[in-house]
A and B are shown apart, each in its own frame.
Chain A
Protein backbone atom coordinates (compact mmCIF):
# COMPACT_ATOMS: atom_id res chain seq x y z
CA UNK A 1 0.00 0.00 0.00
CA UNK A 2 2.84 2.40 0.84
CA UNK A 3 4.34 2.02 -2.63
CA UNK A 4 0.98 2.56 -4.29
CA UNK A 5 0.12 5.65 -2.23
CA UNK A 6 3.62 6.99 -2.90
CA UNK A 7 3.09 6.42 -6.64
CA UNK A 8 -0.24 8.30 -6.53
CA UNK A 9 1.38 11.15 -4.62
CA UNK A 10 4.14 11.33 -7.22
CA UNK A 11 1.79 11.18 -10.23
CA UNK A 12 -0.97 13.54 -9.05
CA UNK A 13 0.09 17.12 -8.21
CA UNK A 14 -1.44 17.83 -4.80
CA UNK A 15 -1.82 20.67 -2.31
CA UNK A 16 -1.58 24.45 -1.94
CA UNK A 17 0.54 26.07 -4.65
CA UNK A 18 1.06 22.87 -6.66
CA UNK A 19 1.17 23.16 -10.43
CA UNK A 20 0.08 20.61 -12.99
CA UNK A 21 2.43 18.81 -15.34
CA UNK A 22 0.33 19.56 -18.44
CA UNK A 23 1.35 22.28 -20.82
CA UNK A 24 -1.76 23.32 -22.76
CA UNK A 25 -1.76 26.22 -25.19
CA UNK A 26 -4.74 28.56 -25.24
CA UNK A 27 -6.37 26.74 -28.17
CA UNK A 28 -6.19 23.46 -26.25
CA UNK A 29 -7.42 25.12 -23.07
CA UNK A 30 -10.51 26.37 -24.95
CA UNK A 31 -11.12 22.84 -26.23
CA UNK A 32 -11.05 21.54 -22.64
CA UNK A 33 -13.74 24.08 -21.75
CA UNK A 34 -15.97 23.04 -24.65
CA UNK A 35 -15.42 19.29 -24.68
CA UNK A 36 -14.47 18.40 -21.08
CA UNK A 37 -13.39 14.81 -20.44
CA UNK A 38 -14.21 13.97 -24.08
CA UNK A 39 -11.22 16.03 -25.23
CA UNK A 40 -8.94 14.44 -22.63
CA UNK A 41 -9.93 10.94 -23.82
CA UNK A 42 -9.28 12.03 -27.43
CA UNK A 43 -5.72 12.87 -26.32
CA UNK A 44 -5.25 9.29 -25.09
CA UNK A 45 -5.95 9.77 -21.36
CA UNK A 46 -8.67 7.19 -20.82
CA UNK A 47 -11.27 5.39 -22.90
CA UNK A 48 -14.73 5.84 -24.41
CA UNK A 49 -15.94 3.53 -21.65
CA UNK A 50 -15.00 6.26 -19.12
CA UNK A 51 -17.22 8.76 -20.92
CA UNK A 52 -20.10 6.30 -21.04
CA UNK A 53 -19.89 6.06 -17.25
CA UNK A 54 -19.79 9.82 -16.65
CA UNK A 55 -22.67 12.19 -16.07
CA UNK A 56 -23.52 13.87 -19.41
CA UNK A 57 -20.76 11.81 -21.07
CA UNK A 58 -18.13 13.94 -19.28
CA UNK A 59 -19.12 17.06 -21.22
CA UNK A 60 -22.03 19.43 -20.88
CA UNK A 61 -23.15 21.25 -24.05
CA UNK A 62 -23.41 25.02 -24.23
CA UNK A 63 -20.08 26.10 -22.70
CA UNK A 64 -18.77 29.34 -24.21
CA UNK A 65 -15.00 29.92 -23.82
CA UNK A 66 -15.40 33.52 -25.05
CA UNK A 67 -17.16 34.38 -21.79
CA UNK A 68 -14.18 33.34 -19.69
CA UNK A 69 -11.94 36.10 -18.31
CA UNK A 70 -8.20 36.26 -18.92
CA UNK A 71 -7.77 35.81 -15.18
CA UNK A 72 -9.69 32.53 -15.21
CA UNK A 73 -7.55 31.26 -18.10
CA UNK A 74 -4.39 32.28 -16.29
CA UNK A 75 -5.51 30.70 -13.01
CA UNK A 76 -6.84 27.53 -14.63
CA UNK A 77 -4.05 26.80 -17.06
CA UNK A 78 -1.39 25.56 -14.59
CA UNK A 79 -3.95 23.80 -12.40
CA UNK A 80 -5.46 21.36 -14.88
CA UNK A 81 -4.59 17.86 -13.70
CA UNK A 82 -4.15 18.82 -10.03
CA UNK A 83 -6.00 17.52 -7.00
CA UNK A 84 -6.16 20.67 -4.89
CA UNK A 85 -6.36 20.90 -1.12
CA UNK A 86 -8.95 21.01 1.68
CA UNK A 87 -11.44 18.15 1.43
CA UNK A 88 -10.18 17.03 -1.99
CA UNK A 89 -8.54 13.60 -2.07
CA UNK A 90 -7.72 10.43 -3.93
CA UNK A 91 -8.41 7.38 -1.81
CA UNK A 92 -7.77 3.66 -2.25
CA UNK A 93 -10.49 1.60 -0.60
CA UNK A 94 -11.98 -1.90 -0.52
CA UNK A 95 -15.59 -3.06 -0.54
CA UNK A 96 -16.21 -4.10 3.04
CA UNK A 97 -19.93 -4.77 2.98
CA UNK A 98 -22.62 -5.28 0.37
CA UNK A 99 -26.17 -4.26 1.29
CA UNK A 100 -27.89 -5.05 -2.01
CA UNK A 101 -26.37 -8.06 -3.81
CA UNK A 102 -28.41 -7.67 -6.98
CA UNK A 103 -27.63 -3.95 -7.42
CA UNK A 104 -23.96 -4.52 -6.50
CA UNK A 105 -23.74 -7.22 -9.16
CA UNK A 106 -25.16 -4.91 -11.78
CA UNK A 107 -22.76 -2.13 -10.77
CA UNK A 108 -19.86 -4.62 -10.85
CA UNK A 109 -19.15 -4.29 -7.11
CA UNK A 110 -18.24 -7.24 -4.89
CA UNK A 111 -16.94 -7.80 -1.37
CA UNK A 112 -13.16 -7.46 -1.06
CA UNK A 113 -12.88 -5.52 -4.36
CA UNK A 114 -10.41 -2.62 -4.41
CA UNK A 115 -11.86 0.76 -5.43
CA UNK A 116 -10.40 4.25 -5.93
CA UNK A 117 -12.39 7.40 -5.18
CA UNK A 118 -11.38 10.81 -6.52
CA UNK A 119 -12.83 14.03 -5.14
CA UNK A 120 -11.82 17.19 -6.97
CA UNK A 121 -13.35 19.75 -9.31
CA UNK A 122 -12.72 22.85 -11.38
CA UNK A 123 -9.92 24.17 -9.12
CA UNK A 124 -8.94 27.85 -9.33
CA UNK A 125 -10.51 28.10 -12.77
CA UNK A 126 -14.01 27.52 -11.38
CA UNK A 127 -13.41 29.84 -8.44
CA UNK A 128 -12.31 32.63 -10.77
CA UNK A 129 -15.41 32.15 -12.95
CA UNK A 130 -17.48 32.38 -9.76
CA UNK A 131 -15.63 35.50 -8.56
CA UNK A 132 -15.99 37.19 -11.97
CA UNK A 133 -19.71 36.47 -12.23
CA UNK A 134 -20.48 37.34 -8.62
CA UNK A 135 -19.51 40.88 -9.58
CA UNK A 136 -21.82 40.73 -12.60
CA UNK A 137 -24.62 39.39 -10.39
CA UNK A 138 -24.07 42.08 -7.74
CA UNK A 139 -24.88 44.62 -10.44
CA UNK A 140 -27.80 42.50 -11.68
CA UNK A 141 -29.36 42.46 -8.21
CA UNK A 142 -29.54 46.25 -8.32
CA UNK A 143 -30.64 46.34 -11.98
CA UNK A 144 -33.56 43.93 -11.42
CA UNK A 145 -34.46 45.23 -7.94
CA UNK A 146 -33.93 41.86 -6.21
CA UNK A 147 -33.96 41.79 -2.40
CA UNK A 148 -31.58 39.26 -0.84
CA UNK A 149 -31.01 37.95 2.71
CA UNK A 150 -27.27 37.68 1.96
CA UNK A 151 -25.22 39.39 -0.75
CA UNK A 152 -23.38 36.17 -1.59
CA UNK A 153 -26.73 34.89 -2.98
CA UNK A 154 -26.45 37.42 -5.84
CA UNK A 155 -28.51 36.34 -8.84
CA UNK A 156 -30.39 37.43 -11.95
CA UNK A 157 -33.61 36.28 -13.67
CA UNK A 158 -33.05 33.04 -15.61
CA UNK A 159 -33.89 34.59 -18.98
CA UNK A 160 -31.57 37.58 -18.59
CA UNK A 161 -28.30 38.16 -20.47
CA UNK A 162 -26.43 37.91 -17.17
CA UNK A 163 -27.85 34.43 -16.47
CA UNK A 164 -27.31 33.17 -19.99
CA UNK A 165 -23.68 34.27 -19.87
CA UNK A 166 -23.17 32.83 -16.40
CA UNK A 167 -24.61 29.42 -17.31
CA UNK A 168 -22.39 29.22 -20.41
CA UNK A 169 -19.34 30.09 -18.25
CA UNK A 170 -20.38 27.69 -15.47
CA UNK A 171 -20.66 24.91 -18.07
CA UNK A 172 -17.08 25.68 -19.13
CA UNK A 173 -16.02 25.28 -15.48
CA UNK A 174 -17.93 21.98 -15.22
CA UNK A 175 -16.17 20.73 -18.35
CA UNK A 176 -12.83 21.78 -16.87
CA UNK A 177 -13.71 19.72 -13.77
CA UNK A 178 -14.60 16.65 -15.84
CA UNK A 179 -11.33 17.03 -17.73
CA UNK A 180 -9.42 17.42 -14.46
CA UNK A 181 -10.87 14.23 -13.01
CA UNK A 182 -10.24 12.39 -16.29
CA UNK A 183 -6.53 13.26 -16.19
CA UNK A 184 -6.31 12.23 -12.55
CA UNK A 185 -8.17 8.94 -13.26
CA UNK A 186 -5.60 8.22 -15.96
CA UNK A 187 -2.72 8.85 -13.55
CA UNK A 188 -4.39 6.63 -10.94
CA UNK A 189 -4.41 3.83 -13.52
CA UNK A 190 -0.77 4.51 -14.37
CA UNK A 191 0.17 4.43 -10.69
CA UNK A 192 -1.45 0.99 -10.33
CA UNK A 193 0.23 -0.14 -13.54
CA UNK A 194 3.69 0.95 -12.38
CA UNK A 195 3.21 -0.48 -8.91
CA UNK A 196 1.82 -3.88 -9.94
CA UNK A 197 3.55 -4.20 -13.31
CA UNK A 198 0.32 -4.96 -15.14
CA UNK A 199 -2.16 -2.86 -17.11
CA UNK A 200 -5.51 -1.36 -16.02
CA UNK A 201 -7.49 -3.86 -18.15
CA UNK A 202 -5.79 -6.85 -16.53
CA UNK A 203 -6.43 -5.26 -13.13
CA UNK A 204 -10.10 -4.73 -14.08
CA UNK A 205 -9.94 -0.98 -13.50
CA UNK A 206 -13.13 0.45 -14.97
CA UNK A 207 -14.97 3.64 -14.04
CA UNK A 208 -18.10 3.19 -11.92
CA UNK A 209 -19.34 6.77 -12.26
CA UNK A 210 -18.12 10.37 -12.53
CA UNK A 211 -20.62 12.91 -11.28
CA UNK A 212 -20.52 16.69 -10.81
CA UNK A 213 -21.60 18.55 -7.70
CA UNK A 214 -21.86 22.23 -6.73
CA UNK A 215 -23.52 22.90 -10.03
CA UNK A 216 -26.84 24.10 -11.46
CA UNK A 217 -28.59 22.19 -14.24
CA UNK A 218 -31.87 22.57 -16.08
CA UNK A 219 -33.82 19.35 -15.48
CA UNK A 220 -37.36 18.08 -15.87
CA UNK A 221 -39.22 17.30 -12.64
CA UNK A 222 -42.85 16.79 -11.63
CA UNK A 223 -44.25 19.55 -9.41
CA UNK A 224 -47.84 19.18 -8.15
CA UNK A 225 -48.52 16.60 -10.84
CA UNK A 226 -47.17 18.73 -13.70
CA UNK A 227 -43.91 18.15 -15.58
CA UNK A 228 -41.78 21.29 -15.36
CA UNK A 229 -38.32 22.40 -16.31
CA UNK A 230 -36.45 23.56 -13.22
CA UNK A 231 -32.98 24.84 -12.43
CA UNK A 232 -31.62 22.36 -9.90
CA UNK A 233 -28.66 23.71 -7.97
CA UNK A 234 -26.90 20.98 -6.03
CA UNK A 235 -24.59 22.44 -3.41
CA UNK A 236 -23.32 20.00 -0.79
CA UNK A 237 -25.52 17.57 -2.70
CA UNK A 238 -25.05 15.11 -5.51
CA UNK A 239 -27.32 13.91 -8.28
CA UNK A 240 -29.21 10.66 -7.61
CA UNK A 241 -31.44 9.72 -10.54
CA UNK A 242 -33.79 6.71 -10.34
CA UNK A 243 -33.93 3.61 -12.55
CA UNK A 244 -35.14 4.33 -16.06
CA UNK A 245 -34.17 8.02 -16.09
CA UNK A 246 -33.38 9.06 -19.69
CA UNK A 247 -30.11 10.73 -18.67
CA UNK A 248 -28.62 7.51 -17.30
CA UNK A 249 -26.28 5.37 -19.40
CA UNK A 250 -27.52 1.92 -20.51
CA UNK A 251 -25.53 0.16 -17.80
CA UNK A 252 -27.48 1.93 -15.04
CA UNK A 253 -30.95 2.17 -16.60
CA UNK A 254 -32.16 -0.76 -14.50
CA UNK A 255 -30.35 -0.04 -11.21
CA UNK A 256 -30.59 3.74 -11.07
CA UNK A 257 -27.62 6.09 -10.93
CA UNK A 258 -24.66 5.10 -8.74
CA UNK A 259 -24.56 7.67 -5.92
CA UNK A 260 -21.09 8.15 -4.49
CA UNK A 261 -20.93 9.51 -0.94
CA UNK A 262 -17.47 10.01 0.52
CA UNK A 263 -17.17 9.86 4.30
CA UNK A 264 -13.93 10.66 6.08
CA UNK A 265 -10.46 9.22 5.55
CA UNK A 266 -10.65 6.92 8.57
CA UNK A 267 -14.08 5.33 8.58
CA UNK A 268 -15.96 4.68 5.35
CA UNK A 269 -17.53 5.88 2.11
CA UNK A 270 -20.64 4.51 0.41
CA UNK A 271 -22.11 3.66 -2.96
CA UNK A 272 -25.88 3.98 -3.19
CA UNK A 273 -28.37 4.04 -6.06
CA UNK A 274 -30.96 6.67 -6.92
CA UNK A 275 -34.67 6.03 -6.28
CA UNK A 276 -38.08 7.22 -7.53
CA UNK A 277 -38.78 8.55 -4.06
CA UNK A 278 -35.63 10.66 -4.17
CA UNK A 279 -36.72 12.00 -7.54
CA UNK A 280 -40.06 13.08 -6.07
CA UNK A 281 -38.90 14.35 -2.69
CA UNK A 282 -35.47 15.88 -3.29
CA UNK A 283 -35.43 16.51 -7.06
CA UNK A 284 -33.21 13.46 -7.60
CA UNK A 285 -30.58 14.60 -5.07
CA UNK A 286 -28.76 13.10 -2.10
CA UNK A 287 -26.15 14.46 0.30
CA UNK A 288 -22.64 14.75 -1.07
CA UNK A 289 -20.74 13.83 2.10
CA UNK A 290 -20.87 13.39 5.85
CA UNK A 291 -20.75 17.06 6.78
CA UNK A 292 -18.40 18.59 9.32
CA UNK A 293 -18.80 18.09 13.05
CA UNK A 294 -15.88 20.29 14.11
CA UNK A 295 -14.92 23.65 12.67
CA UNK A 296 -11.45 23.78 11.16
CA UNK A 297 -10.13 25.61 14.25
CA UNK A 298 -11.65 23.06 16.61
CA UNK A 299 -10.12 20.22 14.59
CA UNK A 300 -6.67 21.83 14.57
CA UNK A 301 -6.91 22.44 18.33
CA UNK A 302 -7.95 18.84 18.95
CA UNK A 303 -5.10 17.53 16.77
CA UNK A 304 -2.45 19.51 18.66
CA UNK A 305 0.26 17.24 20.06
CA UNK A 306 -1.01 14.27 18.06
CA UNK A 307 0.28 12.67 14.88
CA UNK A 308 -2.82 12.17 12.74
CA UNK A 309 -0.71 10.34 10.17
CA UNK A 310 0.48 7.87 12.84
CA UNK A 311 -3.07 7.41 14.12
CA UNK A 312 -4.22 6.65 10.57
CA UNK A 313 -1.35 4.20 10.14
CA UNK A 314 -2.37 2.46 13.36
CA UNK A 315 -5.80 2.02 11.74
CA UNK A 316 -4.09 0.43 8.72
CA UNK A 317 -4.51 3.50 6.48
CA UNK A 318 -1.51 4.94 4.63
CA UNK A 319 -1.60 8.73 4.26
CA UNK A 320 0.48 11.12 2.16
CA UNK A 321 -0.24 14.83 2.45
CA UNK A 322 1.28 18.22 1.78
CA UNK A 323 -0.25 20.43 4.49
CA UNK A 324 -0.02 19.48 8.18
CA UNK A 325 -3.00 21.70 9.09
CA UNK A 326 -5.06 20.28 6.23
CA UNK A 327 -4.55 16.78 7.58
CA UNK A 328 -5.64 17.94 11.05
CA UNK A 329 -8.73 19.65 9.64
CA UNK A 330 -9.63 16.55 7.72
CA UNK A 331 -9.09 14.01 10.52
CA UNK A 332 -11.95 11.51 10.89
CA UNK A 333 -13.40 12.96 14.09
CA UNK A 334 -13.82 16.35 12.36
CA UNK A 335 -16.69 14.79 10.39
CA UNK A 336 -20.03 13.24 11.29
CA UNK A 337 -20.09 9.46 11.08
CA UNK A 338 -20.97 8.83 7.44
CA UNK A 339 -22.69 5.55 8.33
CA UNK A 340 -25.29 7.45 10.38
CA UNK A 341 -25.74 10.04 7.62
CA UNK A 342 -26.17 7.38 4.93
CA UNK A 343 -28.64 5.45 7.12
CA UNK A 344 -30.84 8.55 7.25
CA UNK A 345 -30.72 8.89 3.45
CA UNK A 346 -31.46 5.17 3.03
CA UNK A 347 -34.34 5.10 5.53
CA UNK A 348 -35.84 8.24 4.03
CA UNK A 349 -35.75 6.45 0.67
CA UNK A 350 -33.79 9.24 -1.05
CA UNK A 351 -31.17 6.69 -2.20
CA UNK A 352 -30.60 3.02 -1.47
CA UNK A 353 -27.45 1.57 0.10
CA UNK A 354 -25.46 -0.79 -2.12
CA UNK A 355 -21.94 -1.04 -0.72
CA UNK A 356 -19.67 0.28 2.02
CA UNK A 357 -16.07 1.12 1.15
CA UNK A 358 -13.30 1.18 3.75
CA UNK A 359 -10.15 3.28 3.27
CA UNK A 360 -6.70 1.71 2.75
CA UNK A 361 -4.65 4.68 1.58
CA UNK A 362 -5.22 8.35 0.83
CA UNK A 363 -3.44 11.34 -0.67
CA UNK A 364 -4.50 14.82 0.42
CA UNK A 365 -3.47 18.41 -0.25
Chain B
Protein backbone atom coordinates (compact mmCIF):
# COMPACT_ATOMS: atom_id res chain seq x y z
CA UNK B 1 0.00 0.00 0.00
CA UNK B 2 1.28 3.49 -0.83
CA UNK B 3 1.93 6.01 1.93
CA UNK B 4 -0.89 8.48 2.48
CA UNK B 5 1.59 11.29 2.01
CA UNK B 6 5.30 11.78 1.49
CA UNK B 7 7.34 14.92 2.14
CA UNK B 8 9.18 16.23 -0.92
CA UNK B 9 12.78 17.42 -0.76
CA UNK B 10 12.83 20.85 -2.37
CA UNK B 11 15.62 23.36 -1.80
CA UNK B 12 14.24 26.38 0.02
CA UNK B 13 10.66 25.12 0.26
CA UNK B 14 8.87 21.90 1.07
CA UNK B 15 6.08 19.89 -0.48
CA UNK B 16 3.88 16.84 -0.21
CA UNK B 17 3.01 14.00 -2.53
CA UNK B 18 -0.38 12.74 -1.45
CA UNK B 19 -2.56 9.75 -2.34
CA UNK B 20 -6.17 8.93 -1.55
CA UNK B 21 -8.76 6.30 -2.35
CA UNK B 22 -11.34 9.03 -2.93
CA UNK B 23 -11.05 12.78 -3.41
CA UNK B 24 -12.21 13.33 0.18
CA UNK B 25 -9.62 10.82 1.36
CA UNK B 26 -6.90 12.68 -0.54
CA UNK B 27 -7.94 16.02 1.00
CA UNK B 28 -7.89 14.43 4.46
CA UNK B 29 -4.44 12.91 3.89
CA UNK B 30 -3.13 16.24 2.56
CA UNK B 31 -4.38 17.95 5.73
CA UNK B 32 -2.74 15.32 7.92
CA UNK B 33 0.54 15.68 6.01
CA UNK B 34 0.48 19.46 6.26
CA UNK B 35 -0.08 19.42 10.03
CA UNK B 36 2.68 16.85 10.50
CA UNK B 37 5.03 19.38 8.88
CA UNK B 38 3.99 21.92 11.53
CA UNK B 39 4.15 19.69 14.62
CA UNK B 40 4.03 16.13 15.90
CA UNK B 41 0.25 15.78 15.71
CA UNK B 42 0.21 12.61 17.84
CA UNK B 43 0.61 14.83 20.91
CA UNK B 44 -2.31 17.10 19.94
CA UNK B 45 -5.57 16.26 21.71
CA UNK B 46 -8.88 16.90 19.94
CA UNK B 47 -10.72 19.69 21.70
CA UNK B 48 -12.29 21.91 19.03
CA UNK B 49 -14.28 21.78 15.82
CA UNK B 50 -14.42 24.11 12.83
CA UNK B 51 -17.11 24.17 10.12
CA UNK B 52 -15.91 24.85 6.60
CA UNK B 53 -17.68 25.61 3.34
CA UNK B 54 -16.06 27.05 0.25
CA UNK B 55 -15.83 26.52 -3.47
CA UNK B 56 -13.30 27.06 -6.21
CA UNK B 57 -12.92 27.00 -10.00
CA UNK B 58 -11.36 23.53 -10.08
CA UNK B 59 -10.65 20.61 -7.74
CA UNK B 60 -6.93 21.46 -7.87
CA UNK B 61 -7.66 24.99 -6.71
CA UNK B 62 -10.01 23.62 -4.06
CA UNK B 63 -7.10 21.58 -2.66
CA UNK B 64 -4.92 24.72 -2.41
CA UNK B 65 -7.80 26.59 -0.78
CA UNK B 66 -8.38 23.76 1.71
CA UNK B 67 -4.72 23.68 2.73
CA UNK B 68 -4.57 27.47 2.97
CA UNK B 69 -7.66 27.35 5.19
CA UNK B 70 -5.84 24.94 7.52
CA UNK B 71 -2.73 27.14 7.49
CA UNK B 72 -4.92 30.11 8.38
CA UNK B 73 -6.63 28.19 11.22
CA UNK B 74 -3.23 27.27 12.64
CA UNK B 75 -1.54 30.63 12.18
CA UNK B 76 -4.46 32.75 13.44
CA UNK B 77 -6.07 30.46 16.00
CA UNK B 78 -3.44 27.81 16.78
CA UNK B 79 -5.90 25.17 15.56
CA UNK B 80 -4.27 21.89 14.45
CA UNK B 81 -6.18 19.49 12.20
CA UNK B 82 -6.65 15.95 13.50
CA UNK B 83 -9.57 14.61 11.47
CA UNK B 84 -12.42 15.75 9.23
CA UNK B 85 -15.78 14.82 7.82
CA UNK B 86 -16.00 16.53 4.45
CA UNK B 87 -17.89 16.26 1.19
CA UNK B 88 -16.60 17.48 -2.13
CA UNK B 89 -18.97 17.98 -5.01
CA UNK B 90 -18.81 20.27 -8.06
CA UNK B 91 -15.65 21.95 -6.73
CA UNK B 92 -17.40 22.78 -3.47
CA UNK B 93 -16.14 21.54 -0.11
CA UNK B 94 -18.24 21.44 3.04
CA UNK B 95 -17.96 19.72 6.37
CA UNK B 96 -16.30 19.90 9.73
CA UNK B 97 -12.75 19.61 11.02
CA UNK B 98 -11.84 18.32 14.45
CA UNK B 99 -8.56 19.29 16.04
CA UNK B 100 -6.70 20.68 19.01
CA UNK B 101 -5.03 23.93 20.00
CA UNK B 102 -1.27 24.20 19.57
CA UNK B 103 0.68 24.98 22.69
CA UNK B 104 4.21 26.22 21.88
CA UNK B 105 5.36 25.17 25.35
CA UNK B 106 4.35 21.52 25.02
CA UNK B 107 4.01 20.75 21.29
CA UNK B 108 6.98 20.29 19.00
CA UNK B 109 7.66 23.31 16.77
CA UNK B 110 8.53 22.17 13.28
CA UNK B 111 7.99 24.28 10.15
CA UNK B 112 6.21 27.58 9.89
CA UNK B 113 4.24 27.09 6.68
CA UNK B 114 3.31 30.38 5.01
CA UNK B 115 1.04 29.10 2.24
CA UNK B 116 0.14 26.28 -0.12
CA UNK B 117 1.13 27.37 -3.63
CA UNK B 118 0.03 26.75 -7.23
CA UNK B 119 3.68 26.11 -8.12
CA UNK B 120 3.96 22.64 -9.68
CA UNK B 121 0.48 21.79 -8.41
CA UNK B 122 -1.04 18.56 -9.70
CA UNK B 123 -4.07 16.43 -8.93
CA UNK B 124 -5.01 13.34 -10.91
CA UNK B 125 -7.16 10.28 -10.77
CA UNK B 126 -5.14 7.25 -11.86
CA UNK B 127 -6.91 3.91 -12.10
CA UNK B 128 -9.46 4.85 -9.46
CA UNK B 129 -7.07 6.31 -6.90
CA UNK B 130 -6.14 9.96 -6.45
CA UNK B 131 -2.68 11.49 -6.44
CA UNK B 132 -1.60 15.08 -5.81
CA UNK B 133 1.52 17.18 -5.46
CA UNK B 134 1.57 20.46 -3.55
CA UNK B 135 4.49 22.76 -2.78
CA UNK B 136 4.40 24.95 0.31
CA UNK B 137 5.99 28.35 0.78
CA UNK B 138 7.96 28.32 4.04
Binding site for B on A (CB under 8 A): 15-18, 71, 74-75, 78-79, 84-86, 124, 127-128, 130-131, 134-135, 138-139, 150-152, 154, 292, 294-298, 322-323, 325-326, 365
Contact = CB atoms under 8 A, between A and B. Distances in A.
A125 to B, nearest CB: 10
Contacts, number: 96
B59 interface: no
Contacts of A86: 111-112, 138
Interface in B87-123: 102-104, 107-112, 114-115, 117-121
Interface stretch (B4-12, B23-31, B124-132): B4-12
Contacts of B21: none
Nearest to A142: B57
Contacts of B57: 138-139
B12 A74 contact: no
Nearest to A365: B112
Q: Which of B14, B38, B115 has the most CB of A within 10 A?
A: B115
19 contacts: A15-B112, A16-B110, A17-B102, A75-B75, A75-B76, A85-B109, A127-B75, A127-B115, A130-B115, A150-B120, A292-B11, A295-B9, A296-B9, A296-B12, A298-B9, A322-B104, A323-B109, A325-B110, A326-B111
Nearest to B12: A292
Given A295-B11, A295-B12, A150 B118 contact: yes
Contacts of B10: 295
A152 B76 contact: no
B119 A152 contact: yes
A15 B110 CA distance: 9
A223 B104 CA distance: 51
Given A74-B76, A128-B72, A150-B118, A85 B112 contact: yes
B49 interface: no
Contacts of A79: 75
Contacts of A134: 115, 118
A17 B109 contact: yes
A17 B119 contact: no
Where chain A touches its partner, the secondary structure class is: helix
Interface of B: 7, 9-12, 14, 38-39, 57, 61, 65, 68, 71-72, 74-78, 102-104, 107-112, 114-115, 117-121, 137-138
B103 to A, nearest CB: 8
A133 to B, nearest CB: 11
A17 B107 contact: yes
A17 B9 CA distance: 24
Nearest to B11: A295
A326 B138 CA distance: 11
B111 A325 contact: yes
B118 A322 contact: no
Nearest to A16: B109
Nearest to B8: A297
A152 B117 contact: yes
B112 A131 contact: no
A365 B114 CA distance: 14
Nearest to A88: B112
Contact of A154 (B109, B111, B118): B118
Contacts of B71: 127, 131
Nearest to A17: B104
Across the A-B interface, the 10 shortest Cβ-Cβ residue pairs: A151-B118, A85-B112, A152-B119, A16-B109, A297-B9, A323-B109, A295-B11, A127-B114, A75-B76, A17-B104
Contact of B76 (A71, A296, A365): A71
A124 B75 contact: yes
Contacts of A127: 71, 75, 114-115, 137
Contacts of B107: 17
A16 B111 contact: yes
A209 to B, nearest CB: 25
Contacts of A297: 7, 9
B77 to A, nearest CB: 8
A326 B9 CA distance: 15
Nearest to B78: A17
A138 B14 contact: no
Contacts of B77: 74
B104 A151 contact: no
